[in-house]
Amino acid sequence: PVAPPVIVSEPKPATPIPVAEAKRARRLPLWSLPVAAVVIAAVATPFFWPSSSVDGSSPVRAAPVATAKTDVTPLPELTAHLPLHRAEVTPAPKAAPLPEAPVIIAAIPKDALVMDSTQMKLGTTRFLNGSWRVSVDVKDPITGKPPSLRYQIQNNKGIARVVHGDNVVCRAEIFSGLHQTGELMIKSRGNARCTDGSRYPMPEITCKAGVNDVATCTARYGDHAAIPLTFKKIGA
């Protein structure tokens, strides 16, 4: 038997959409544009992160290096506050002055030759007037003792008497005066003439004012070195 034919119905044509309605469906509202821009920026931002992290200008953190611990004395903490008072310099304590030693004035012997400072300033030598015993550290070649010298002076002129050896007496004229340096000079006008017809050399005497104006004198025989000499007053 023959099967009956199958009848296929034709598809119905699609109903066309009006053009005006299609255009109206494609239009987006204007207020949706800013929202879309924000969404696009949020989606695109993660894509730029890897590139910025790989940039060579960014610092690379070095791996921490292990260091041995050492005992270090902690430094004093600094304060950021200014001092309330101005800096002041503390003067060093002054040492207490030592008590001054008492001035001891040595007694001046009555028979000493004192070169009065007032007379020295006036250029006079009245303090030299009188009779003087002169002791000089010279030994006589015969007796082994120093010779005996006596000076009689008045107003810068006088006579010197020398006794030496076996009681030989010698005499010489002398004169005195003040030098520009303030020294007292006593000289003779040559060698002394002695009773035995001999001549005896006379020293050149120089005196300076010492402690308490007491004269410090020296004697010089010719070119020999100066030797100490002292005056003692024995009469006016």
Q: Tell me the per-residue pLDDT of 18-76, one tens digit each, with 9 for 90 and over.
A: 544 444 445 555 555 565 665 566 655 555 555 444 454 555 566 666 666 666 777 76
Q: Does 122 or 14 have the greater pLDDT score? A: 122
Residue of 17 and 78 predicted with greater confidence? 78
Residue 20 located in a structural domain? no
- Asked if residue 203 has pLDDT above 90, the reply is yes
User: What is residue 95's predicted lDDT score, i.e. its pLDDT?
Assistant: 79
On the question of pLDDT at 230 being above 80, the answer is yes
pLDDT in tens, 112-167: 999 999 999 999 999 999 999 999 988 877 778 888 999 999 999 999 999 998 89
- 169-188 burial code (b ≥16 CB/10 A, e <16): bbebebebebeeeeebebbb
* Per-residue model confidence (pLDDT) at position 53: 45
Is residue 200 a part of any domain in this protein? yes
Q: Is 9 exposed, middle or buried (0-12, 13-18, 19+ CB in 10 A)?
A: exposed
Structure tokens at 38: 């924000």
State the total domains in the chain.
Answer: 1
Domain hosting 129: range is 117-234
pLDDT (tens digit per residue) in 77-86: 766 665 566 6
pLDDT tier, 169 (very low <50, low <70, confident <90, very high otherwise): very high
* Spatial contact of 163 and 145, defined as CB atoms under 8 Å apart: no
8 A C-beta contact, residue 113 and residue 128: yes
Domain-embedded: residue 186: yes
Asked whether residue 60 is domain-assigned, the answer is no
In a domain, 88, yes or no: no
Determine, yes or no, domain membership for 4. Answer: no
Give residue 54's pLDDT: 45
Give CA–CA dist 139/93, Å, rounded: 62
Identify the CATH number of the domain in which residue 148 sits: 2.40.128
Q: pLDDT at position 171, please? A: 97
User: What is the rounded average pLDDT of the residues 186-192?
Assistant: 94
Answer whether residue 108 is part of any domain. Answer: no
Please report whether residue 228 resides in a domain.
yes
